[in-house]
Structure 1
Amino acid sequence: MTPVLDYRQLAAVGPYFALDVATAPGEGPPPGFRPLRELYAGGPDSLLAGRVRVVAQRLGTAEPRVAASILHLGLAARFWSVGLGSALLLGVVPDLDPDRARVRVPDQGPIDLWTPYAPAPSGREPLTERLHQSVVQGQLTPLGAAVRTVAPIAGRLLWGNAASALAGALRMLDAHGAPGHGRALVAELLDRPPLAGTGVLRALGPRGTAFRRNSCCLYYRVGPGAGVCGDCCFTRPPEPRAG
């Protein structure tokens, strides 16, 4: 009998890692979920554009690209947490096909993700390849394209966000005691386009890692005192350009 994986293990790491999976064939999602594909629709009237406006209001910024970058970083962290967490804790990569998976956007916190009933996937490809296909190609590529229809933002910045989110997921899993091959897995992903060149992953002892990205997520532009993130290419916020 094909085993059914216990994805509840992921939620123990943190809310960004949680994945709701149907427990029986034909079981539908809970109320409020909509096709994941809708998150990747672009334009001013899209679900994504609405979330950018909400984030901008909460951050107190008048720059749509700043809100779009911060939202994108959080979404990238959500997808990497589920993908990398499943790979390291369960040995599989879940099926988040945008046409079958579902998403629910709460007022606060990370998005909720749901997938149909899923016996253990039988893919024979290495975990690196499966993660690249599922997260990079399946989620982050269409997400980045949609974000760029909502706000004027560089594609390379968005891939820097994706790399930062991947390294952050690894740090969380290391702290949770996940298997030690996670660093090598993440290093392989960061060596592959389009993540190649986005930053440098550095070992800190036998398990810990540090990451320094080659771009900035623009958080420092939220306002005075916002500062820069711990993995930013800048050591302090850039000075405003004269004129």
Structure 2
Amino acid sequence: MVLLLFVDLDPDLTALDALGGFFVLRTEAPPRGPLPTLAQAYAGQHVDVYGDPLIFRVRKVTESLRAPEPRIAVSVAQQALAARLWSIALGCAALYDQVPDLDPRLLRWDPDASAPDDLWLSEVRPRPATAIGDLVREGHLAPLITALRRQQHVSARLLWGNAASALAGALRQLNRWAHAGGRDEVADRARAFAAASLAHPDLSGTLDPATLRRRSCCLYYRLPGGGLCGDCCFDRPPRHS
């Protein structure tokens, strides 16, 4: 018999703190503002000094990574935000057996911050853990991908592959933490929620089911000094002009 130990979904989501920076979700007011909500970012709504928040973010990533093509920065920026959202949702589902409502209108984002992306949740509204897929995939990933593809010609398959890879990365980190702390039940629940999410048609087929190795490339190898990611579909960097 396995005893599942859960804690209540507390207003500060403090159980996430032990998992690392990608899992932390701030619930206090942002230190400076007004910051755009993710809903505003997906809609392309101009917000104060940022203008279009997603365009601002992609330009920042392009400059910081010296990306030779904007689509590379689009890919990197999208995967980083997807990793934050999946980590928060998967961590809450595994630890609390609940997730906070991640409605994009409730999440404020600093497009000028360094990685991992800073996110603030304005109100903690408990939702069942089984809502993880809809909250992240439908609430964020689909509108994010649509918004980015309005800006740059980037393959939808590549971006959904990024989303799946980000989920697999969150799962690996949760597995390491859970096994190190003797919380095997947390790892089991995380795997179950991740598998259910990866079975959705948008994500199904993006990763090898046995190894979680991706079947598309995020383009990171095209950055100056960039190499292959650990789950890359390539065995060696392709030659490119």
C-alpha distance in 2, partners of 1:201/1:193? 14
SS at match of 1:50: helix
Q: Going by fraction, where is strand more abundant, 1 or 2?
A: 1
Matched, 1:167 2:168: yes
Q: Give a deviation string over 1:27-72, Cα, whole Å, max 9, x none.
A: x654323322122134995111111111111111220001110111
User: Aligned partner of 1:39: which letter?
Assistant: A
> Aligned pair in 2 of structure 1 residues 4, 232: CA closer, same or farther (>3 Å)?
closer
SS at match of 1:212: coil
Alpha-carbon distance, 1:80 to partner: 0.4
Out of 184, 192, 197, the position equivalent to 1:184 is 192
Unaligned runs of 5+ in 1: 23-27, 203-209
Give percent identity, aligned residues only.
44
SS at match of 2:208: strand
2:96 corresponds to which residue? 90
> Aligned pair in 2 of structure 1 residues 216, 120: CA closer, same or farther (>3 Å)?
same
The answer to whether the 8 A contact 1:132-1:189 is kept is yes
Aligned length: 221
SS at match of 1:51: helix
In the superposition, the TM-score normalised over structure 1's length comes to 0.83
Moved over 6 A (4+): none
Alpha-carbon distance, 1:4 to partner: 5.2
Q: Going by fraction, where is helix more abundant, 1 or 2?
A: 2
1:143 corresponds to which residue? 144
The answer to whether the 8 A contact 1:43-1:149 is kept is no
> Aligned pair in 2 of structure 1 residues 47, 119: CA closer, same or farther (>3 Å)?
closer
Unaligned runs of 5+ in 2: 1-7
> Aligned pair in 2 of structure 1 residues 135, 238: CA closer, same or farther (>3 Å)?
same
CA RMSD of aligned residues (A): 2.1
User: Aligned partner of 1:240: which letter?
Assistant: H
C-alpha distance in 2, partners of 1:114/1:61? 28
In the superposition, the TM-score normalised over structure 2's length comes to 0.84
Alpha-carbon distance, 1:17 to partner: 0.6
SS at match of 1:102: strand
1:153 corresponds to which residue? 154
